[in-house]
Amino acid sequence: MIYKANAGQDIYGAPIGILVMDCLIPYPPGTPGNAQTFDHPVIYEVVRGADMENLVYDPKPELLERFVAAGERLVQQGARTVIGNCGFMVLYQREMAAALPVPVFMSGLLQLPLIRQGLQPDQSIGVITASGRTLSRRHMEIACWGGQVPVNVRGLEDRPAFKAAVHDQVGWLDFPAVEAEVVETARSIQADHPETGAILLECTDLPPYAEAVQRATGLPVYDITSMIGWAFAGADRKHFSHKGYEP
């Protein structure tokens, strides 16, 4: 076998490239910002200036140029799929997909239409987000390609432990306290909307709590890691050996 080096490429063997916010948030195992979350290699590129203010609270269109440049760097390093590490990055989905030569999935919200397909006609999807006040109709329209998906959104911005770690960025995260807040939020969605058929965790800081949410609600729970698993399956197909097989 002959291996080839590509000019400008310093890293090999990582099919998934992840665009990371410019922030001071701990990434425990389970979050896409922690490489131990995955059983396959990933590479990262920080998008400087894409912080909470410019991405979540008051999105800046001029960030697109930085996102494209960061995505191009990931592709140059061998990424065959580019992923966004914040649900609010969905605002740049269409432009990023048009700009890069590989598949681009900027937000876990892109799973909404697929999840809806699997539910009963009268069921809805509960969405837990980092910021319920700024997750807008525009975000949902882009995620659903203009279609309508019944959702009930709850934000975590006023939950003390989550607010301290993600919004105030104190530099540390109280895992049990945040888990309790996320579970309580999921339960409140289910109590107020008994027709809820699934939960989607918009915020990429929430996958570590997905199992606890599922245990508490009995519902299927999706997040950015479920999307990355699907994207990886397409980017790096497994070879199935037929040696010795007899029908």
Question: What percent of the chain is predicted at pLDDT more than 90?
Answer: 87
pLDDT in tens, 90-147: 999 999 999 999 999 999 999 999 999 999 999 999 999 999 999 999 999 999 988 8
For the cut 90, the answer to whether the pLDDT of residue 4 exceeds it is: no
Distance CA 214, CA 131 (A): 21
The domain limits of the chain are 16-107+229-235, 108-223
Assigned token pair, 101: 């030569």
Residue reference for tokens 């995955």: 38
CATH architecture of 16-107+229-235: 3-Layer(aba) Sandwich (3.40)
For the cut 80, the answer to whether the pLDDT of residue 243 exceeds it is: no
Do β-strands 221-222 and 151-155 pair in parallel, antiparallel, or remain unpaired? unpaired
Quick check: do 16-107+229-235 and 108-223 share a fold? yes
CATH architecture of 108-223: 3-Layer(aba) Sandwich (3.40)
Distance CA 134, CA 73 (A): 29
For the cut 90, the answer to whether the pLDDT of residue 9 exceeds it is: no
Distance CA 145, CA 59 (A): 19
pTM of the full structure: 0.93
Contacts 24+ apart (CB under 8 A), 70-73: 70/19, 70/45, 70/46, 71/17, 71/19, 71/45, 71/96, 71/99, 71/100, 71/104, 72/99, 72/100, 73/45
Q: How high is the pLDDT of residue 45?
A: 97
